[in-house]
Amino acid sequence: MRVLARVGVGPLCSAARAVIPWFWRGKYFSSGRESAENQVTPMLRHLMYKIKATGPITVAEYMKEVLTNPAKGYYVYRDMLGEKGDFITSPEISQIFGELLGIWFISEWMATGRNAAFQLVELGPGRGTLLGDILRVFSQLGSVLKNCDISIHLVEVSEKLSEIQALTLTEEKVPLELNPGSPAYMKGVTKSGIPISWYRDLQDVPKGYSFYLAHEFFDVLPVHKFQKTPQGWREVFIDIDPQASDKLRFVLAPCVTPAEVFIQSDETRDHVEVCPEAGVIIQELSQRIALTGGAALIADYGHDGTKTDTFRGFCGHKLHDVLIAPGTADLTADVDFSYLRRMAEGKVASLGPIKQQTFLKNMGIDVRLKRLHGGSHPMNACQSKPSPSPVAGFGELAWR
């Protein structure tokens, strides 16, 4: 897990079916030929109809359909987090992670002049556990924030998860305001009295002085995968296996595809994953921070432009073949932080990535652990001693 901070200062070529069969030999990337029986899910049937109608699809299109299809998407109607789900995130394990992030946001708010108001915007808030821990710190440090007008804004596409978030975060006595057709499709008040709103897209969140949080959000955005061949870069597509009509396989495009423009001209790896959607979101965040001030904190599994094949699936807390029983498992790919930095270049200052362990130690996790194990003590401003750097938790501030 790595942490990055930003601080304000077309179609397949004409021979669509003329694909090149190609199978991964990597640890996580088989093509559906394992002994496990391939379950024919509603999503698999949907994808097969799609491929039969229009030809092989990119890995990005596959991920988008499997995870966020409005009718059958993995994220749309299920709670996949926790012991009974498919994966567990840091906030589900310990409250300390969220508490230290709460300290980080307050530290940045103080360091940038104690603005009279700020928005806290979280992208993909999971079950709301992380935000709940952050808001508890805000309440415990209420004397510091008493003259600040705070509002919470959540970007969430999952109907199921937004319901769970509301149960976790909002005051039961204040009924939720539901507006399915409006940009803010749900509104309420947190247990500590802060207004909270839900949106399906970052662009719908009002512009203003804001702190943005993305924890394990970018790793589920759709990636395009490319393999270097003697003929140049070729994109990886997904097609129906001609040897087994109820299975999918990976193939290579026979010619150049539009997403190749995202590959760096000096790229030395033989396999790369690019995520244009992540670039669009980073550019939006950067523009907002440059325009109205604030900061963004991104914590995710990732690398600094060094890894190759990272596309994998998780089901029941175990690795899962990405092409088997689509719609029943989480799909993820490690975040390329070097790409995120390039997308923000010239607009905001960028720090990191650094290991989450380093960030938390810089934020005083050891002190907080001792307090927690020594008994229940209210959070206070000196509990976590920020590192002596311009931005808490990070080393020297540097423009990238």
Q: pLDDT tens digits, residue range 193-218?
A: 999 999 999 999 999 999 999 999 99
Predicted confidence (pLDDT) at residue 10 exceeds the cutoff of 50: no
What confidence category does residue 84 fall into, taking pLDDT thresholds of 50, 70 and 90? Answer: low
* Alpha helix stretches (DSSP H) within the chain: 42-54, 59-68, 90-93, 96-111, 129-140, 142-145, 159-169, 276-292, 337-344, 356-362, 365-373
Which pLDDT band, with edges at 50, 70 and 90, does 392 fall under? confident
CA 207/CA 294 separation, integer angstroms: 11
State how far Cα 44 lies from the chain centre.
24
pLDDT band at 366 (very low <50, low <70, confident <90, very high): confident
- 87: tokens are 């994966």
pLDDT of residue 214: 97
pLDDT for 387 equals 44
Q: What is the mean pLDDT of residues 95-118?
A: 93
Burial of 147 (0-12, 13-18, 19+ CB in 10 A): exposed
Return the minimum-mean-pLDDT range out of 89-93, 187-191, 392-396.
89-93
* pLDDT greater than 60 at residue 229: yes
Q: How far apart are alpha carbons 50 and 38 in whole angstroms?
A: 19
Rounded to an integer, the average pLDDT of 235-263 is 94
CA distances from 310 to 25, 29, 230, 233, 302 (A): 13, 9, 23, 18, 9
**How confident is the model at residue 58, as a pLDDT?**
97
pLDDT tens sequence across 23-71? 433 333 444 444 345 688 899 999 999 999 999 999 999 999 999 998 8
- pLDDT (0 to 100) of residue 37: 52
pLDDT for position 74: 85
CA-based nearest residue to 290, from 363, 345, 236: 345
Q: Are 341 and 335 in contact (CB under 8 A)?
A: no
% of the chain residues with pLDDT over 90:
62
Average pLDDT over residues 177-194: 93
Give me the mean pLDDT over the 354-371 stretch: 81
Give me the helix-helix angle, 42-54 and 59-68, nearest 10°. 140
Judged against a pLDDT cut of 60, whether residue 396 lies above it is answered with no
Q: How do beta strands 210-215 and 294-300 pair?
A: parallel
- pLDDT above 70 covers a percentage of the chain that reads 79
- pLDDT at residue 399 in the model: 34
pTM score above 0.95:
no
Round the average pLDDT of the chain to a whole number and report it.
84
Res 76: pLDDT: 75
Peptide bond into 353 cis (omega under 30): yes
Burial of residue 286 (number of CB atoms within 10 Å: 0-12, 13-18, 19+):
buried
- The rounded distance, in Å, linking the Cα atoms of 105 and 110 is 9
3 state SS of 350: strand
Question: What's the burial of 339, exposed, middle or buried (CB within 10 Å: 0-12/13-18/19+)?
Answer: buried
Checking if the pLDDT of 187 tops 80, the result is yes
The CB-side HSE value for 30 (13 A sphere, CA atoms) comes to: 12
CA gap 221, 8 in Å, rounded: 24
In this prediction, residue 17 carries a pLDDT of: 40
- CB of 165 closer than 8 Å to CB of 125: yes
Per-residue model confidence (pLDDT) at position 323: 96
Element (H, E) at 149: strand 149-155
364 pLDDT higher than 90: no
Angstrom distance (rounded) from CA 327 to CA 349: 38
Say if residues 120 and 296 touch (Cβ distance below 8 Å).
Answer: no
More confident residue, 39 or 155: 155
pLDDT of residue 96: 86
Spatial contact of 255 and 15, defined as CB atoms under 8 Å apart? yes
- Kindly list the structural domains of the chain, giving each domain's residue range(s) and its CATH number in brackets, ordered by start: 39-77+218-372 (3.40.50.12710)
User: Which of 100-104, 156-160, 299-303, 381-385 is least confident?
Assistant: 381-385
Beta bridge partners of 91: none
